[in-house]
Amino acid sequence: MTSMPHTPVLLSEVLDALSPAPDKTIVDGTFGAGGYARGILATGAKVIAFDRDPSARRFAEGLDPDRFRFEGARFSEMADLVGAAAVDGVALDLGVSSMQLDQAERGFSFMRDGPLDMRMGDEGQTAADLVNMADPKELARIFFVYGEERQSRRIAAAIARRRIEQPFSRTLELAEFIEKALGGRRGAKTHPATRAFQGLRIAVNEELSELEAGLAAAEQALKTDGRLAVVTFHSLEDRIVKTFLAARAGRTPAGSRHAPPRHAGAPPSFELLFNGPRTASDAEVAANPRARSAKLRAAVRTDAPVWRDAA
C-alpha cells in the first residue's frame, strides 16, 4: 500500500459539509494522494474518485474495492461516468497538489529544476509550448488574467526576445529569467516568478474552464439533498465557485461571465450550507502552511431541475 504523503486541507470541515455515512456514495473529484477519500471511507461511505493525473492511481492501492472506485478522468466528466442524480456528495480540492509540486520532473515548481511541463495529465500542450510559441500578447494575457501579474507585458516581451535565440526548456531557467527581467527580488516576500508560473499552469491545464464544467457536472450528478464541498486556494477559483453557488441559490441577478443567464422562473438548484467561506484554524495553518489560503464553500442540492445554460 502506498502511503499518503500529504495532509488534506480542511478535512474535518469538508467531512462536516459532506455528511458522509455508510449508506451514501461520495465523489472525490480531485483524488490526488487520497486524503479526502480516506477520510470519507472511514465513515463507511462509498467513494468514486476522479483524477486526470495518471500518477495518482498508485495512491488507490489497498483501498477497499467494494467501497472504492478510481476513474482516471477529469472531474468535469463525473456526470457522464456516474450518472444523473446518482451520488450523495461531491468534494473538490482545486489547484496543483503538494504531491505534484514536489515532483521536479512534472515542471510545476520554480523552486526545483525540471522540464517546463506543468501538465496535470499526460496530454495536451506543455508550458514550454506556450512560453516558446504563444503570441506575446497571449502570453501577457495569461500572466495577467490567470496569474494576476501586473508586470505581465514586461515579462512576455522579455520572453519573446529571448526565445528567438534560445527557447526555454527548464523550470529554473524560466524562473531565473523572470526574476532578472523584473529586476530581482528587492525584498519581495514571494519569488518574482510565482504569478507567471501560476498563470502558465492554469492555462496549460485549462483549470478555470474545467472548474466551471465540473461545477455544472456536480449539479447533474448530485441527488436531491446531496452536498457539494469545494476548497479553493486563490481568488480566481474562489470567485467562480462563489458566483456559481450564489447564482444557483438564487442570490444573484442573471448575467455573469461564470454563471450563465438564469431562465425566468428557474427555481434554485442549490441552497448554501453557510454564508461566506470557511477557512482553516490557526492550529491547522501552523501545522500545514498550505491551508493558509484555503477557502471552503458548500451547498445542498435542491429538488429543482438542473439549470440549462444558455447557448
Domain boundaries, given as residue ranges, for the chain: 11-99+207-301, 106-205
The pLDDT of residue 109: 73
Q: Which CATH superfamily is domain 11-99+207-301 in?
A: Vaccinia Virus protein VP39 (3.40.50.150)
Average pLDDT over residues 241-259: 77
Average pLDDT over residues 131-138: 97
Average pLDDT over residues 263-287: 90
Residue type (1 letter), 205: N
Average pLDDT over residues 132-145: 97
By three-state DSSP, how is residue 9 classified?
coil
Joined grid coordinates for residue 22: 455508510
298 pLDDT higher than 60? yes
Q: 67-105: per-residue pLDDT in tens?
A: 999 999 999 999 999 999 999 999 999 966 555 555 555
* Contact predicate 32/57, CB 8 Å: no
Residue type (1 letter), 29: G
11-99+207-301 and 106-205: same fold? no
pTM equals 0.89
By three-state DSSP, how is residue 2 classified?
coil
Average pLDDT over residues 7-28: 96
Task: Check if CATH label 1.10.1740.10 holds for domain 106-205.
Answer: no
Strand-strand pairing, 46-50 and 68-71: parallel
Burial class from Cβ neighbours inside 10 Å (0-12, 13-18, 19+) for residue 123 reads: exposed
SS (H, E, C) 135-156: CHHHHHHHHHHHCCCCCHHHHH
Q: Which helix (H) or strand (E) holds 158?
A: helix 152-165
Q: What is the DSSP string of 33-93?
A: TSHHHHHHHTTT-EEEEE-S-GGGGGGGTTS-TTTEEEE-S-GGGHHHHH-TT-EEEEEEE
Q: Which of 12, 5, 102, 40 is closest to 294 using CA atoms?
A: 12
Task: Identify the bridge partners of residue 237 per DSSP, sorted by sequence position.
Answer: none
The pLDDT of residue 3: 45
Q: Which of 5, 121, 119 is closest to 53 using CA atoms?
A: 121
Joined grid coordinates for residue 54: 495518471
- Cα(253)–Cα(264) distance, integer angstroms: 11
Q: Which helix (H) or strand (E) holds 28?
A: strand 25-28
Q: Phi, psi (5° rounding) for residue 65?
A: -65, -20
SS (H, E, C) 223-242: EEEEEEEEEECCHHHHHHHH
Average pLDDT over residues 193-210: 93
* Contact predicate 230/298, CB 8 Å: yes
| DSSP3 helix / strand / coil % (the chain, rounded to 5) | 45, 15, 40
